[in-house]
Amino acid sequence: MKRIVLFGTGNVATHLFEAYKNSEDFEIIQVYNHASKSLQPFKDKVAITTDLNKISPADIYILALKDDTLAEVCFRMKDTDVLVLHTSGAVPLKVLNKFKHHGVFYPLQTFSKNKKVDFSKIPICIETNNQEDNQLIHDLASGISEKVFDISSEQRKSLHVAAVFVSNFVNFLYTEGESICKENKVPFEILHPLILETATKALNISPKDAQTGPAIRKDQDVISSHLELLNKEQQELYSLLTQSIQNLHGKEL
């Protein structure tokens, strides 16, 4: 059985800990975090530490840390022959160049600590600096997921940007939609079937081909009436998105 030390206690780290909890091939033997308070949920389950000098010997170190702390933590870590992986979608492989064996283990999904996920359906994008380690990373990924992809740093950077568009930005628009509903005393749940149908269509046909609504219809009366209902920030966002849709589909506002 391969031994893992997990660095981090955030959303990704929490779900990785749960994913490997019952693994027959990999075992998380220790969790590191700089803040002892963040380690409390793990203290009765596994060894914990706040000291980088007390990291246990293992086969794999997984750095499930915030992007802006990765370089600093790597600098403070002792050099090691252990395979060191980070889980970031935006940070290149080279941030780990200090270590002889290093790679990327990027689960492409939105994670919240209190929302369970089926890791078997989550794509895991892997990358390594040598073919020797690729098999171990692939085994690590395929142990919890059915979808493992060899993706370069440049490809992963593009994927991360695309993920921001289809997840983070879309979720912000959900938030705006929910706000409009609340302001007008309309249950947001009325929109739930529409959200699900829109997402389902995007999985089965090109999102471009699935576009509907007043922007693509060039329905100026409806667009104007909508703008009257919105605050200034929402108006700017609505107008920008409307214009972008019409530009894409060859129409002018």
Residues 169 and 92 in one domain: no
Residue 107 has pLDDT above 90, yes or no: yes
Residues 113 and 197 in one domain: no
Domain count, the chain: 2
Q: What is the mean pLDDT of residues 56-64?
A: 97
Residues 133 and 192 in one domain: no
This prediction has a pTM of 0.87
Residues 14 and 137 in one domain: yes
Residue 253 has pLDDT above 60, yes or no: no
What range defines the domain where residue 192 resides?
156-248
253 within a domain of the structure (yes/no): no
Residues 96 and 70 in one domain: yes
Residue 252 has pLDDT above 80, yes or no: no
DSSP the chain: -EEEEEE--SHHHHHHHHHTTT-SSEEEEEEE-S-GGGGGGGTTTSEEES-GGGPPP-SEEEE---HHHHHHHHHHSPP-SSEEEE--SSS-GGGGTTSSSEEEEEE-S---TTS---GGGS-EEEEESSHHHHHHHHHHHHTT-S-EEE--HHHHHHHHHHHIIIIIIHHHHHHHHHHHHHHTT--GGGGHHHHHHHHHHHHHS-TTTT--SHHHHT-HHHHHHHHHHS-HHHHHHHHHHHHHHHHHTT---
Residue 251 has pLDDT above 90, yes or no: no
Residues 117 and 239 in one domain: no
What tens digit of pLDDT does each residue of 108-132 get? Answer: 999 998 898 999 999 999 999 888 8
